Copies of this chain bind each other. A is one copy, B any other.
Amino acid sequence: MKTRRTQNLMTVALACMVVFMTTAAQAADPLSSWNDGPTKQAILEFVKTTTTQGSLQFVPPEARIATFDQDGTLWVEHPMYTQVVYCLERVPALVKEKPELAKIEPFKTVLSGNREAMAKLSQDDLMKILVATLTGMSVDDFNVEAKKWISEAKDPRWKRPYTELTYQPMQEVLKYLRANGYKTYIVTGGGQDFVRVYAEQVYGIPLEQVVGTAGGTKYGYGKDGKPFLTKEPKLLLNDNNAGKPEGIHMMIGRRPVAAFGNSTGDRQMLEYTKAGDGARLAMIVLHDDAEREYAYGPAQGLPDTKVGTFTQALFDEAKKNGWTVISMKNDWKVIFPFDSK
């Protein structure tokens, strides 16, 4: 009797241990929103090989730079870049200040609220709207306006603040890299000042680690004699395509060890990163999940869209150069932080 009782107790104890260990393993998985497979493995392997003392591919802490495109890589970019939505929604307030714009295109079309007509605006028209809504004010005034908007505006599909539409698996990568001594940077074609407004809150990335398309500012003095900076319609850095490695050199001064993108605009950043010596991680997100997010390419026969183009040529270059293609559909257990709650 006693022996059987002991056996029973041991079985219970063992079962408890298994449950405990499984829970511990789950809690310890830094990439728990990623499905097991070669993509997740590539990230884990890279971090292990570059941060283990004595590893042949060890990277000293000061050189641990990881760069992330934002739109389509860290958060949703469809159907329209969030910053473009901001600019369009700023037009009424702008026209209030400058009533003469109401009769001038493209402001007239934007004021009409006709979404079909707005979708047809040319790149030149869009640029006029960007310049009018992103420049001419003080840096401080812009920050106040943009902060207010981003805290109130909502994505029409998910009916949630844009700031909640970040990809949970990428949030885990950001945290995992930082926990291993990596400095994480955003390198975005979007406006540097715009992304800086929420980067700390949304991604845990400080303002000074946001590299983006940047306009000049102009130093001057207010009526009270206090100095301030005005945002100027002068492009200093177009942080797209070749502008990404150029911006990285200017703002960071080192070649990244890891880079993440999702479109042709990220090609040169990924090439530049991967061309460095030693272990390098280059990853590119393929939006192939129409149900949970969006599906677009045209790589792999996905629909061609204007926003965030991922061509078949880029897909082929990724395969050839050893970049890892992330399939949203197959590699990600959940898409958004609110999915996992």
A contact residues vs B (CB 8 Å cutoff)? 62, 139, 183, 192-193, 196, 200, 206-208, 210, 214, 216-219, 226-229, 236-237, 242, 245-246, 249-254, 268, 271-272, 275
Contact = CB atoms under 8 A, between A and B. Distances in A.
Given A62-B200, A219-B242, A227-B245, A208 B271 contact: no
Nearest to A208: B252
A112 to B, nearest CB: 36
Chain copies in complex? 2
B219 A253 contact: no
Contacts of A254: 207-208
Interface of A is mostly: mixed
Given A227-B272, A236-B237, A246 B207 contact: no
B206 A249 contact: no
In the A-B complex, the 10 residue pairs with the closest CB atoms: A207-B253, A219-B242, A208-B252, A226-B275, A227-B271, A196-B253, A217-B246, A227-B272, A219-B245, A217-B249
A170 B251 CA distance: 25
A214 B237 CA distance: 12
B275 A246 contact: no
Contact of A252 (B207, B218, B237, B252): B207
A253 B217 contact: no
Contacts of A62: 200, 206
Given A219-B268, A227-B272, A249 B139 contact: yes
